[in-house]
Each structure stands twice: as structure tokens, then as C-alpha cells.
Structure 1
Amino acid sequence: MSQTAVLGVMFGLWYFFNIFFNIYNKQVLKAFRFPMSCTELQFIVGSCLALFVWVTGIHKRPKITKKQLLTILPLACVHTLGNVLTNVSLGKVAVSFTHTIKAMEPFFSVVMSAAFLGDVAPPAVVLTLVPIVGGVALASATEASFNWAGFVAAMGSNLTFQSRNVLSKKFMQGMDQGGEKLDNINLFSVITMMSAVLLLPVALSLEGFQFAPSNLQAMGLDPSLIYKRALFAAVCFHSYQQVSYMILQRVSPVTHSIGNCVKRVVVIVSSVVVFQTPVSMLNGVGTAIALSGVFAYSQVKRLAGKKKA
């Protein structure tokens, strides 16, 4: 009972942090149109939180070798790009639409796993991709905030994040074959720190230091308000991902996937309410079809796992 209660609290925190990240991050990006700077701040805050967890002993600090860092580097690169693209999309289109597009993650997961891991999905899994793709297509065709930059950025984030997941799986397999063990939480922390280092020079060269109070005032913005919202969004950003990894260590990947599907529904509904996003009947139907496909995908994967067991 106590373990179930703890897991329930974790799921609640996962959803809470994700909802508030999307709301506050969108509020910042609507006024402060520098997605790389926002992403870099999120990585820096995440790095500080990870260091705090290690220094206080809340989670054991890993011993990282040079070989491991070189292996993790591709993961950090795609992680950096994926988060930048997500923020680009959130700045260009409605939060609800970005998350509808990101419902395409199972499609990219099946394609990437087949291409790089040789894991060919069974026909039942492939069939569940049809409503996902069809639903996203219908939602995109009827989306009031649609623009190609936001759409392509969200699709690109799907591709990069699924590449990261595939590379993570290969990395963990490598560690199981004789390398030093690095759990999911520490792996994410190291990736976050590396991403902060990788993105900093790029963000400064392309966008400059736009968080300076004088720059914000020149844009007609209240520096104090932007700082508060951006920092809170950054804390929520790292927190929801850390909690997600903690949940993944306690439940099966399929259960985690179902939880992620429900989380996406909650985020879409909450963002529509907060931002009063106009949703047409066809747009809502397309989103519902896509999310139903994601749920069906999770269920088919769960049943396939039971048969193997």
C-alpha cells in the first residue's frame, strides 16, 4: 500500500510539474522570443539541481569515466537539439498543438528501433500507428495556430528524442556488458550538464545574452516577471523529467508509456483552458484519434510483453 501511495504521488508530481512547465514556458516564449536562451537557462537550472542532489547525498554521485563521457556525447547532442526544437514549437504554435504533434512519438520509436536496433514491430503494433498518424494529420489540417515552423520543429523534436531513447538503450546495454553501471537518473543528470555546456556557445553566438535587464526593458518587458516565470519553468522542466525517470525505475516501460499518454491529455486540456485556445470540432476529433492511437499502442505493447513472459 505504501509503495502504491508513493507511486501515486510521483505520478501526481510528474503531471503537476509538466503542466506548469508548459504554461509558464509558453508565457515566457510568447513575450521573449529566444528559444535557445530559454533552453539554456533550463539546462543550467537542471544542472544546479542535479549537483544539489549529488552534494546532499539524496542520490549517489556517479563515477564518470572519459570513455563514458564520449559515449554519452551523442545522447547530449540529440537531447540538446530536441529540447531546443520543442521550445521553438511552443513559441510558434499553441501548447495543445505541439503536444498533439508529439503524440507521433510511437511512430518515430518504431521506425528508429527498426533502423538502429533491428527491433521490427509486430503487425498489431504497426496498425496502432495508423490512427496516430491520421489523427495528427487531421488535427494539423484544422489547427488555428498552424504554421510550418512550429509543425516542423515539433516533428524534429520527436525524431531527436526517439534517437536519444534508442541511443540510451544502446548505452545501457553497453554498460551491462562490462561498463560501469549508470542508472537512469544519473544518466539524465550527466546529459543535462553536457547539454548546458554544448548549447551555451551556440545560444550566445546566435541570440546573445538577451536575459540582461536592459535588453528585457528595451523589449517592453518586466525583467522581474520574466525572470520569475523563466526560473519556475526551468525548475519544473528538470523536476518533471527527473520524476519521470524515477517512475521508470519503479514500473515497466509500457506502464510508463500509458502514464505519459494520460499526461499528454492532461497537459492539452489544461493548456486549452488556461490559454483559451480555440479548438474546432475536427481539430478536437483529430487530437482524440491520435491520443487514442497512442493508448492502443501502449496496450498492444503491454500484451506483447505478457506473451513473451
Structure 2
Amino acid sequence: MRRSSTHTTSTTTTTTVSHRPHVVAHADVRPCGIAHALSDHRAVVARAASSSGATEDAGSSSSAPAAAGGFGKTAALGAMFGLWYFFNIFFNIYNKQVLKVFRFPVSCTELQFVVGSCLALFVWATGIHKRPKLTRSQLMTILPLACVHTLGNLLTNVSLGKVAVSFTHTIKAMEPFFSVALSSIFLGESSPLPVLLTLVPIVGGVALASATEASFNWAGFGAAMGSNLTFQSRNVLSKKFMTGSKGEKLDNINLFSVITMMSAVLLLPVALFTEGFQFAPAKITAMGLDPKFILSRALFAGICFHSYQQVSYMILQRVSPVTHSIGNCVKRVVVIVSSVVVFQTPVSLLNGVGTAIALSGVFAYSQVKRLTGKKKA
């Protein structure tokens, strides 16, 4: 190839690549679990030069920034996963510390919704995240989601107040079972045999852990199972909402924020009617408790609750649903282990084996879902 001695002309071509949408693949005390399609459009710029010398220069000069950018994104994603686990661990610890002595789960749940609503309003007011424009029809469609979201979080807190944190999260490993069952009933989705087989160790592991759990009681067990049912019902309703709604599409962060605010409004009269206002320092002192300890831990639990949900959605926008699901499985292991260490929870050999089997089943479920998804594609 001859090199031009006069001048070199460079042409820049821009190509837009449309990536497949991400959907929420799980439900947690998390929000982690609202199913919603997110479209992510990124531009990839390719530079071509008419001379081979110019091409070599462009390639050598762009490789270093590209590598640095890739490392930066990986480091940022790793930090997000760390924050996700950090906030979730401390939410469970602070929440359990309060519910163990301050037996007002409705009031504690309401406070968490109020704190989350304040944080969401702050994010919108400062422009950190764009405030959505909602129609009346959208609000009416979201209302059922808010109802089951409210009930799911309330039942989770009831369970945490009755049994050990590790046991509550072991029971919540049953979420895939409820997801498959409810999707079949309400959406008409049939799961392939390999997916159904992964439910066997999940159910068996939870059964073994329950039979050998030192803190077992039916109220705590039933509340945790009820939270599984309500959270997975929320996910099914979310799918129907996202496919049938009209108007501005909500991303997961805004949808979770709106649901949190609606939940705070829905639960407030219930909390006042069933438990009254229990966060007055004089009332807490009359119970023989330290107001500073109870109020600070309850406030921190609310902050951690909303924060880990938001970070969860930020991660979901950057990774595949299967990767997010695996991360959530690891998060549950971390929460169980940390709670056992902090609260010195007695764990028998069979109890530990049952928990391990259930969590292994959850991991297998996410992997099989990934493989069956590839076959369909």
C-alpha cells in the first residue's frame, strides 16, 4: 500500500448498538425483585484512516484509555456489589436488634417506608435521578403492587421479630418455588423439567433446616412463607403492569420509589390503629428501653433498607438478570453467616446442611434458567 505524501483524510463512522433489555429476576426484602424491562442504548465509535500509519497510531493511542475505562467500570461494579451486601447486612442486624426488644413490627415497617420516601424525594429534588411523570391510570395500576409490597415487608419484619435472621433468610430461599408456581397460575408460563428439578433441593433443604431450627415457631415460619408469596405476587403483577401500561415507562428505581411512598401512605393508618404511635421517647423509656438506641437503630435500618434496594437496581442496569440473581444468592449466604456470627445463633449440623442444600438449589435454579433462556433465544 502506497503512503500518500500530501495529506491524510480521516472518516469517523458512528454506529448505534441496541442491547437487549434487562428485567428484574428476583424478589428480596429487595427490591430487589420488581420485573421491568430496561432499554440501554450505547454508542460505539469506530475510527478509520485512509493510511496504514494513521490506523496504527489510532489503535495504539486508544488501547490504553479503553483498558483503563474497562478497569474503572469493573471496579465501580465491584464497589456496588460491596455496598449492596453492606447495606443488606446492616439492615438485617439493626432491624433484628430493634424487633427483638421493641415488638411493634407494623410501626417499624412504617418507619422504614417513611425513611425510604424521604430519600426518594431527596434524589428527585436534587436531580440525581429524574422524577417520573405519572398519570392517574398508572397510579391505579401501581396500587396493587404497593399493597403486596407493603404486606411482604410487614410479614418479613414479623418473621425477623419471631425467629433468627438466618432462619428467615433460609425460608426466603423458597422464592423460586413461588415464582414458578405463580407464573404458571397467573401468566400461563410453563417451566421446563430441569428448572422444576432444581426446586427439589430448595424445598428439601428448607424443610430440613426448619425441622432442625432451634428458634422455630409457626408464627415466624408462616410470616416468612407469606412474604415469599406476596413478593413473588408483586413480581407477577409487575410483569403484567409493564406489558400493559401506557404513558411514560418507569425504570426500576422510580417504580420502587413510587411503591415505597404509596406503601407509607397505605400502612400509616394500620400502624396507628393497631399499635398507636410507639416511637415517642417517653413511651420507649416506659418499656424499660433506651430511646436513643431504639430510635437510632430503627432509623439506620430504614436508611439501609432503601439504600440496598436502590443499589440493587443500579447493579441490575449494568449486569444480566442471571448475574444479578447469582449475586443475590451470594448475598443471602453472606447475610446468614454474618447474622449467625453477630447474634451467636446456634446452628446444628443438620440445620447447616439444610440451609446449604437450599441455597445450592437456588444457585442451580439461576444457572438452569440461564441455560434454558439461551436455548429459547
TM over 0.5, yes or no?
A: yes
TM-aligned CA deviation for residue 308 of structure 1: 2.3
* 2:207 maps to amino acid: A
1:183 paired residue number:
251
2:318 paired residue number:
250
Residues in 2 aligned to 1:172 and 1:7: alpha-carbon distance in whole angstroms: 27
Residues in 1 aligned to 2:222 and 2:348: alpha-carbon distance in whole angstroms: 22
| Higher RCO (CA 8 Å, separation ≥ 6 residues) | 1
2:280 paired residue number:
212
1:80 paired residue number:
150
Alignment of 1:120-131 (within 5 A): 120-131=190-201
2:133 paired residue number:
63
1:282 aligns with 2:282: no
Unpaired stretches in structure 1, ≥5 consecutive residues? none
* 2:254 maps to amino acid: N
Alignment of 1:1-309 (within 5 A): 1=70, 2-175=72-245, 178-309=246-377
Residues in 2 aligned to 1:64 and 1:147: alpha-carbon distance in whole angstroms: 43
* 1:308 maps to amino acid: K
Question: Normalized per residue, which structure has more strand?
Answer: 2
Question: What TM-score do the two structures reach when normalised by structure 2?
Answer: 0.81
* 1:79 maps to amino acid: H
Secondary structure at the counterpart of residue 19 of structure 1: helix
TM-aligned CA deviation for residue 294 of structure 1: 0.2
Residues in 1 aligned to 2:287 and 2:79: alpha-carbon distance in whole angstroms: 40
Cα deviation 1:160-190 (Å, max 9, x = unaligned): 0000111111111123xx4321111000000
Unpaired stretches in structure 2, ≥5 consecutive residues? 1-69
RMSD: 0.8
Residues in 1 aligned to 2:258 and 2:350: alpha-carbon distance in whole angstroms: 42
Residues in 2 aligned to 1:79 and 1:24: alpha-carbon distance in whole angstroms: 21
TM-aligned CA deviation for residue 92 of structure 1: 0.1
* 1:307 maps to amino acid: K
Residues in 2 aligned to 1:23 and 1:125: alpha-carbon distance in whole angstroms: 33
Q: Percent identity?
A: 86
Residues in 2 aligned to 1:216 and 1:23: alpha-carbon distance in whole angstroms: 20
Secondary structure at the counterpart of residue 345 of structure 2: coil
Question: What TM-score do the two structures reach when normalised by structure 1?
Answer: 0.98
Residues in 2 aligned to 1:106 and 1:85: alpha-carbon distance in whole angstroms: 18
TM-aligned CA deviation for residue 214 of structure 1: 1.2
Cα deviation 1:71-127 (Å, max 9, x = unaligned): 000000000000000000000000000000000000000001111111111000000
Greater CA radius of gyration, 1 or 2?
A: 2
TM-aligned CA deviation for residue 249 of structure 1: 1.8
TM-aligned CA deviation for residue 300 of structure 1: 0.3
Question: Normalized per residue, which structure has more helix?
Answer: 1
Secondary structure at the counterpart of residue 259 of structure 1: helix
* 2:133 maps to amino acid: K
Residues in 2 aligned to 1:229 and 1:47: alpha-carbon distance in whole angstroms: 18
Is 2:81–2:315's contact at 8 Å kept on the other side of the alignment?
A: yes
Moved more, 116-125 or 41-50: 116-125
* 1:250 maps to amino acid: R
Residues in 2 aligned to 1:15 and 1:169: alpha-carbon distance in whole angstroms: 26
Secondary structure at the counterpart of residue 58 of structure 1: coil
Residues in 2 aligned to 1:121 and 1:308: alpha-carbon distance in whole angstroms: 12
* 2:310 maps to amino acid: Q
Residues in 1 aligned to 2:315 and 2:244: alpha-carbon distance in whole angstroms: 23
Residues in 1 aligned to 2:309 and 2:217: alpha-carbon distance in whole angstroms: 28
Secondary structure at the counterpart of residue 61 of structure 1: coil
Moved more, 81-90 or 112-121: 112-121
Secondary structure at the counterpart of residue 243 of structure 1: helix
* 1:215 maps to amino acid: K
TM-aligned CA deviation for residue 222 of structure 1: 0.7
TM-aligned CA deviation for residue 225 of structure 1: 1.0
* 2:158 maps to amino acid: V
Moved more, 236-245 or 78-87: 236-245
Residues in 2 aligned to 1:118 and 1:249: alpha-carbon distance in whole angstroms: 27
Over 6 Å off, 4+ runs:
none
* 2:226 maps to amino acid: G
